[in-house]
Structure 1
Amino acid sequence: MSPERYGDFDFLNLYYFIAVPVAVRRAWLPILTKGAIRHGVIHGPQNRREYEEWLDNEIYNHLVEKSQEDSEIKGAYVMEEMPVEVAAAQAESIGIEPPEAGAVLTMNKNAMRITDSQPLLNMPLMLLKAAVELDFDHIKTMQTAYALYAKKLISYPFTVQNTIPFGVWKLMLRNKKNLRYNSKWGKEAKRIRMPRRHNFRNGECIYNGFGIVTTGLHPTDLSRDEEKLYNLIVKSVIDAFA
C-alpha cells in the first residue's frame, strides 16, 4: 500500500490495543509482489526520516482537527478556563487591558473563563507548558501524550476543555492516592484536597469534555520524555485540586 494516514492510524490503533511490546518493521509497498514484500521486510522504508516526518505531521494535524470537531459535537456550550497570568501575557502581547479573574469571554459556542486558580491542562495549555518547561516542540508533546494515553496512564489528552466535572472529581478521590507514589510530586500529592468544583452550570452539557487527569494506574517502564510529560500532568492535577 502507498503511504496514507488512515492506514497508519489503523496500524497504530491495533498496535496499541494489542499492547504487545515487540519490535515491528514497517514497509510501504507500492506493489505486492513476492520480491517487493521480501525486499521491504528485509530493508524497511527507503526514506525513513522523510516518511516519519510526514507521519508526525499527519497525526498532529489529524488530532488537532478531531479535538476541534469533538468539542463542537459533544456540547452546545464549551467552557475553557485560563489562568490569570496566561490571559495577562496574551493581552499584553496584543496591547489590550488584561481581563480580571471571574470574567467570561464568549465567542459562538465557546466560552473562556478567567480564573485565579489553576485549571487542569487541556491540549493548548499542555502544548504551551511542555514547550516552556520541557523544551518540547508540539509534535513531540502530542506523540508523548498519545503514548501515555495508550498506556492508560492519563485521560484523553487532545481536548479543548480543562474544567473539572463532578464525576471526574469523584474518580480523582481514588486516583489521587496513587499520586502519592510519584517520585517527583508524591509529597505534594499527600496534601492535596478535593474541592467540589465542577463545570455543569450555565447551560453546559454533561457530554462536554474535561481537562487531562491521571487514571490511577501506577506508571512503569516510561521513557525519559514520557516521564517528564507525565510529571508535568501530575503537577497540573495537584495544582488544580490544591
Structure 2
Amino acid sequence: MLLFYTPEIEAHHSSFLLSEEESKHAVRVLRLQANDIIHLIDGRGGLYKTEIIEPHPKRTSLKVLEVTQQYGQTSFQVHMAVAPTKNIERIEWFLEKATEIGLHEFTPVICARSERKEVKVERLEKVAIAAAKQSLKAYIPKINPAVTFSKFISSIENLDVNKGIAHCVDADKKFINTSFQKGEKYLILIGPEGDFSDNEIAQALQAGFIPLSLGESRLRTETAALAAVLEVALLNR
C-alpha cells in the first residue's frame, strides 16, 4: 500500500489533486502511471483509496474510490511529554519509533536541567508524518510547541488522564502495567539527561503524577520515552 499524506482532503471529495511535492514523488520517484491505485491519509484517521487519472509531476489528479474513517483507531491514547535532548536527532529517533508503535501526542518540555531550550515543531512533524506513512497509519501524532515544565504542569493539572512521571530518584515507584488500566488515556513525563529537579518532581506529584519505574537500568531520555510507549502499547494489546 502506497500512502500519501494529504491533510486537505475531506470525506465528501470524489476527486483530488496531489500537491506538487507529493505529485513529484508519485510521478518522478515512484514512476506511477494512470490507473495505478494509491492511498491517501489525512492524519485524522481517514484513509482514501484512489486511482490516478492523470499523472503529472506538479498536479496529479485522482479519483476517490473508497473512504475509510477511523482507520487503525486505537482504544487508548498516549501523550508523551519529554525533555528534548541536546542532540535533537535522538528525539527525532524516538518520535519516529514511537509513531510506528502508536503515539498520539508529543510535547517537548523544557526542564531546569535541559540542555536544549528550543525545538522546531515543523521538523518533528515531518518525522512523524514519514513514520506514519511507513507504518501504514492514518493518524499523525499531534506535535505541540515546546513549553516550560511549570507551564506544562499548570496546563494539564485538571485533565482526566492517567499521569505518570519516570524519574531517577530513589522512591517507591510502580510499573506501568500495574498502575494503569487498559483502554484509557495516559500522560507520561520523561526528564532530561540530568533528570528532573527535586522541585519539578514535587510539582508533578502534587499535580497527581504517579512515580513510574521503567526497570533497573538507567536509560537515556529517548530510550526511556520509547520504553514507556512500548509498555503502554503492550498493556493495550
TM-score tier after normalising by the smaller chain length:
under 0.3
Question: Greater strand percent: which structure?
Answer: 2
TM-score (norm 2): 0.25
Normalising by structure 1, report the TM-score: 0.24
